[in-house]
A = this chain, B = another copy of it.
Amino acid sequence: MTESPTRTRPVTGTIYVSRLLTDRAMNHLHALGAPVRIGSEAPPDRAELEAGISGASAAVITLTERIDAELLAVAGPQLKVIANVAVGFDNIDVSAAEAAGVIVTNTPGVLDRASADHTFALILDATRRISEGDRLIRRQQPWVWGPRMLVGLDVSAGATLGILGYGRIGQAVARRAHAFDMNVIATSRSRTPGNIENGVTFVDASTLLAESDVVTVHTPLTAQTRHLIGAAALAAMKPTAYLINTARGVWSLRRR
């Protein structure tokens, strides 16, 4: 990944925005003063992508747009920067961009906390059965509260959260889990099993799967993690455990 320039330079030429972003992001782009060519909310097909990027000086794209050497040639030599609205950049042939003299930027960090929030939203939704309750109410059928009704996992009564991958998002999830009095264990490539850091005990993956009431995946998508969660991992988990996946690794299950 090419380093971003540290000084702001005036934008000249057309900015291509492959998909309509949020109002706030679009306002920022329009404020730059350069012509902005905007796609629709839906992802562009290849022809639309080619038409959009052709002649542009800058392209703001999302993970749904695949950037390869051929597209860079179609774009033309005036293209200076491709801004990927994502942390990941597996949609971009970075070597080809480098060869074409195009700077590629991504957005690491900006969604770490939002991702941890969303992860915790899913943890609480599954364990406290919120969507299930939502469906019950929306069915508009009679119901009467009972002491055994929609009893889920009492997360703050000593439940163990296992975090597979203790990167930026994993750490943000751990911080939230501590406020819920959860016992937090994690795997980490750079930490030794048995070590404790900020209240998180590091373990190997087998221990994590066996001991967790809730397992949450925050590993990057690599050759090593692609099949991390498969039949063996599911079998190693407690029969009552919950599996939360907000990582790219989720696809591994579908691609097996």
Contact = CB atoms under 8 A, between A and B. Distances in A.
Interface of A: 19-22, 25, 41-43, 62, 64, 85, 113-114, 116-118, 120-122, 124-125, 127-128, 130-131, 134-135, 144-148, 151, 154-157, 175-176, 178-181
Contact of A130 (B19, B22, B42, B131): B131
A117 B180 CA distance: 7
Contact of A113 (B116, B135, B181): B181
A117 B147 contact: no
Given A122-B130, A125-B125, 4 more contacts: A121-B124, A121-B127, A124-B124, A125-B130
Given A114-B154, A120-B124, A130-B122, A146 B41 contact: yes
Contacts of A147: 19-22, 25, 41, 62, 85
A125 B117 contact: no
A177 B131 CA distance: 21
B128 A118 contact: yes
A20 B147 CA distance: 7
Report the copy number of this chain in the oligomer: 2
A117 B124 contact: yes
A169 B145 CA distance: 21
Contacts of A121: 121, 124-125, 127-128, 130
A226 B124 CA distance: 29
Given A19-B147, A131-B131, A175-B179, A114 B41 contact: no
B181 A179 contact: no
A151 B118 contact: no
22 contacts: A19-B146, A20-B146, A20-B147, A21-B148, A22-B147, A25-B147, A41-B146, A43-B144, A64-B144, A113-B157, A113-B180, A114-B154, A116-B156, A117-B124, A117-B156, A118-B128, A120-B124, A120-B180, A121-B125, A121-B128, A130-B131, A178-B179
Contacts of A156: 113-114, 116-117
